[in-house]
Structure 1
Amino acid sequence: MSTLGLTATGSALEAIDRHLPALLEDRVASRLGAQDATLWGEQARDEAARRLGWISPFADARAVVADVEALAAELRRAGLTRVVLAGMGGSSLAPEVIAAAAGVPLEVLDSTDPLEVADVIGRDLDRTVLVVSSKSGSTVETDSQRRIVERALREAGVDPAERIVVVTDPGSPLHEAAEAAHYRAVFTADPTVGGRYSALTAFGLVPAGLAGADVAALVDEAESVAGLLTADDVENPGLRLGAAIGGTSPLRDKLVISDLGSGLPGFGDWAEQLLAESTGKDGTGLLPVVVAPGDPETVSAAGDLLQVQIAGADVPEDDAPAHGLRVSGSLGAQMLTWEVATAVAGRLLGINPFDQPDVEAAKAAARALLDAPTGPAESGAVLQGVEVSGPAAVTESADLRSALGAVVGLIPPGGYLAVQAYLSRHADAELAGIRSELAELAGRPVTFGWGPRFLHSTGQYHKGGPATGVFLQVTGAAGTDVEVPDRAFSLGRLIAAQASGDADVLRALGRPVITVHLPRRAAGIAALRDAARGR
């Protein structure tokens, strides 16, 4: 059996007390358990009717677990011990946190950065299995990654079909292509489960299970709380958590997520996608701000911040945040609880938590740029070796420090800064440290996302949520490129089109966008961080 702990204080507790009686009277939990598509209003009814399989995934999950365990043993006997996952959004974030919590190695390839992809194909191909995970199979990042790794395996003298495992929806283009290519294994998932709710389906279980995680135990953990989560009970943690995050008044729409020894590394990144993509639309939503303990947002008294601590069971309750939540429990139990809470919060916010109406805009803009000749670069300035473009208040700055000051000066009351790094999250990991430094400089919440990964996560909120964001894009010269087989573009061109396309969409929506380009990545990252720290 799994245990869940939920402590609420201040505004979060007030929200629970205010909304729980109506949630119980309306039988929201039991209707969710019965997959009642009317819970979010008539406008969301058709979409919800096709997207509620996640509330009871257990029969399918157990069948997948048995097949995964058999395949994992087979691969180990063949000496294939390196599992690489090509997937985006929910297809990568859930298995990444499952594997990390289990302490097993899973290499997640969710980037189009040439340096990152070149590193993956440049080593250990003799023991590599590639899991290609995509609901449709048409995701440009995943399709490109599959083509590149498949070519690398072939050039290494390996039959790619023996090394590729596919996870997709039944009847998808990827399903048909995988069957035709006779890939080693094909797993299909319930098509009534959307990507960000798919942690307890084949999308979460197959890659993590092949990497060595005990996914049977994960399913057990989730199923142990399923009865409570679908009961109209005052102690239902899904109802309580959903009321707390979606029902504060005035709305504390920045959820500052920190980890206090939970043993679930990366959980905040998984929750970030679930919450931001599900709720960030129609001019409202919840913006997760994933931080480390002690970061500036964790001690801020701003009225639009709600502290959310993912804690270990032994963390004392007497130091819980003044306005916020402390959640503890096993990974499987928390995943299902947060999914329920997100659906409940969507009801309170008056939105459809199952669509993502603004995600396609950036994809379309990127495709248009790939099909068009490269245009002239946006005008700007060169500050300490870093190319800066954007509003004149930024580009007319004397140095990087004053430029960053001008950037944070653009943040409106109640707003936030989003750093969007179209670089390698491994080779360029040092850049992520600028998040807390800019939060200190700005006195406002700062999010950090690796592109194009965040386009499948917070990208929906940035376009569909409140128009209070300022966007700092960071791009960089790679010094190398990787051609995509049978496509008319390289990864270098693709990631540039994704950055430019997203910036164009944000600007068209009236959001301020500043781009800094690093001709020399290491030196540029060091210069940016020094500037953020006032050096």
Structure 2
Amino acid sequence: MSSDQVHAGNLTVTLREAVREAADPAKERLVADGVPAKLAARDSSLWGPEAAEEAAIRLNWIDLPRSSRALLPELERVATQKRAAGLDRVVLAGMGGSSLAPEVIAASRGAELTTLDTTDPHQVRRAISDRLERTVLVVSSKSGGTVETDSHRRAFEQAFRDAGIDPAERIVVVTDPGSPLAELAEERGYTTFLADPNVGGRYSALTAFGLVPSALAGVDVESLLKEAGALTDALSADSGNAALELGAALGGFTGHDKVVLAGDTPAGLGDWIEQLVAESTGKSGTGLLPVVVEGVDAPGFVPGPDSHLVAFSESGAPEAELADTLVTGPLGAQFLAWEYATAVAGRLLGIDPFNQPNVQESKDNTKALLERSGDGPLPTGTPLLVEDAVEVHLADAAGPSLFTDAKDLAEVLQRLVRAVPEAGYLAVMAYLDRDEEGDGAAARLRMALAELTPRPVTFGWGPRFLHSTGQYHKGGPSNGVFLQITGEVTDDLDVPGRPYSFGRLQTAQALGDFGALSERERPALRLHLRDRAAGLAQLRQALERVQP
């Protein structure tokens, strides 16, 4: 690629000429306004007066390579103690910023970590039944009241007690000071790590939220802090600041608001970047839509005129050669650089990169559905049509002109892909079992649909995506078309101490978000699989009959 490189410490950002032409004027504006020095000094005024109050309590991530070192002695002590007790399986109960970073850290370092960021009862039940006698559960929630994480904790506590195990010997809590979870952990004697409250969840990779589960899983987390620390000195500089270059490219490449993420080094980094960028920028009708792809040689990959291909593979990989922007460096540096760049892009876009005004909406809808329905059935609605194992449900805003007279599933899907506007995207949201259905038909849906439309296709596991791209879906530009997939529960699991099961909670979350999309008149379709395996196979067959 014809390009320019900027090195900072152990990180390199390479920009193709077209990106450089757009990024340079943006960087000049940032430098003229003193942004690098101000951001390094945690100046909360950088995003305007309306964002200043939130920014004032969200900027300590800049200093984490140094400040998080205070965690290391106690973290090493606890990790050694657990391993000495034969507890070598770590399960992380967390959502969004509390789960994505540790998952990436473990994957990139070759450590085993079971991430539980779902309400699918089949997946939760399997996590509980696997090697419970050797399991440490990390309960990770910044607010201390995340419904999914609270439900996981309750289920594991019950399982430990049923097995004659004291939960206090197995549960490690990560939360903010003063949260309800911190109070409960103190009452029950759970080992607790308190995170810096002045760091937002999606910027928390190098806080206790990222480090505690990773260290318990056997990762040398000190090395992560060293990798990030090598970048720190450059962050206040006007030149030779690779993170500033990346931010200028993301926020200044006008008209390229789909950020296509490709690469496998470090492993899984795209999913973490997706949450950071989507939740930080997708608001006030604007934003950058991350699109994580399996690779530039995967079926259905077609870079669009509004797409910015960002790769994080090493030089020489196919995606690196095609990338508009290439970011190379170790994981710790990548974390810090992307956080810095996202904050910088937020300034260029004119938004507050630290709030998430639309995330709470789906949570409130879920709570209201559970409370209104009591012990009765949830309002799943009457399907438009039923074809063997698949029910087709419409959001109110879908309108009669889109789907109501469709004769079969293939025609529904045909109309779905053709409904994506020229500057829009298609989002697939699967409330299924990520382990059982993840490596099979459900995860391949993104590629199959991408082959049928020139527009970007995203894929998210529910309810995990609600803490990520869910903000963009509702707060970003109104140009998305949405396909939600739910599945029949065959082996439900009660949430101890709550009047609902995991299956009921999962359904309420899907319906709650479906309602939020409908209220915003986003075209949305829900496919309910009466039999998951048969329904996915049927969906795949129907897609084969759809014309591009």
2:280 match: 278
Q: Which stretches in structure 1 are left out of the alignment for 5+ residues?
A: none
Q: Which stretches in structure 2 are left out of the alignment for 5+ residues?
A: 1-7
- 8 Å contact from structure 1 (residues 2, 329) kept in 2: no
1:481 match: 492
TM-score when scaled to structure 1? 0.96
After superposition, the Cα gap between the structure-2 partners of 1:529 and 1:516, relative to the gap in structure 1 and judged at 3 Å, is same
Amino acid at match of 2:366: A
- 8 Å contact from structure 2 (residues 311, 319) kept in 1: no
**Offset from partner CA, 1:428-450 (integer Å, 9 cap, x none):** 11211110110111221000000
SS at match of 2:403: helix
Alignment size in residue pairs: 527
- 8 Å contact from structure 1 (residues 320, 326) kept in 2: no
Q: CA deviation at 1:297?
A: 6.2
* Aligned mate of 1:191, from 197, 201, 211: 197
* Aligned mate of 1:287, from 286, 289, 310: 289
Q: CA deviation at 1:532?
A: 2.1
CA distance in 2, matches of 1:425, 1:531: 22
CA distance in 2, matches of 1:401, 1:315: 37
* Aligned mate of 1:179, from 175, 186, 193: 186
Amino acid at match of 1:381: L
2:443 maps to 1:435: no
CA distance in 2, matches of 1:18, 1:451: 39
- 8 Å contact from structure 2 (residues 383, 391) kept in 1: no
Aligned ranges for residues 141-156 of structure 1 at < 5 Å? 141-156=148-163
SS at match of 2:52: helix
CA distance in 2, matches of 1:523, 1:14: 51
Q: CA deviation at 1:358?
A: 0.6
1:387 match: 391
- 8 Å contact from structure 1 (residues 389, 395) kept in 2: no
Q: CA deviation at 1:530?
A: 2.4
Q: CA deviation at 1:29?
A: 1.1
2:159 maps to 1:157: no
Amino acid at match of 1:407: L
After superposition, the Cα gap between the structure-2 partners of 1:400 and 1:375, relative to the gap in structure 1 and judged at 3 Å, is closer
- 8 Å contact from structure 2 (residues 282, 476) kept in 1: yes
Aligned ranges for residues 91-170 of structure 1 at < 5 Å? 91-170=98-177
* Aligned mate of 1:89, from 86, 92, 96: 96
2:524 match: 513
TM-score when scaled to structure 2? 0.94
- 8 Å contact from structure 2 (residues 380, 511) kept in 1: no
**Offset from partner CA, 1:82-137 (integer Å, 9 cap, x none):** 00000000000000000100000000000000100010111211000000000111
Amino acid at match of 1:506: L
After superposition, the Cα gap between the structure-2 partners of 1:21 and 1:315, relative to the gap in structure 1 and judged at 3 Å, is same
SS at match of 1:489: coil
**Offset from partner CA, 1:222-277 (integer Å, 9 cap, x none):** 011011122222x211111011111112x211111011x52x12100000000000
Q: CA deviation at 1:523?
A: 1.0
Q: CA deviation at 1:326?
A: 1.0
Q: CA deviation at 1:281?
A: 0.3
- 8 Å contact from structure 2 (residues 300, 448) kept in 1: no
**Offset from partner CA, 1:12-35 (integer Å, 9 cap, x none):** 212222211121121211111100
2:422 maps to 1:413: yes
SS at match of 2:136: strand
Amino acid at match of 2:238: D
2:208 maps to 1:202: yes
CA distance in 2, matches of 1:313, 1:40: 34
Amino acid at match of 1:299: V
* Aligned mate of 1:255, from 259, 282, 290: 259
2:344 match: 344
CA distance in 2, matches of 1:201, 1:291: 28
- 8 Å contact from structure 2 (residues 279, 468) kept in 1: yes
Amino acid at match of 1:248: F
2:435 maps to 1:426: yes
Amino acid at match of 2:292: V
- 8 Å contact from structure 1 (residues 418, 469) kept in 2: yes
After superposition, the Cα gap between the structure-2 partners of 1:404 and 1:197, relative to the gap in structure 1 and judged at 3 Å, is same
2:3 match: none
SS at match of 2:435: coil
- 8 Å contact from structure 1 (residues 384, 399) kept in 2: no
2:500 maps to 1:496: no
Amino acid at match of 1:102: R
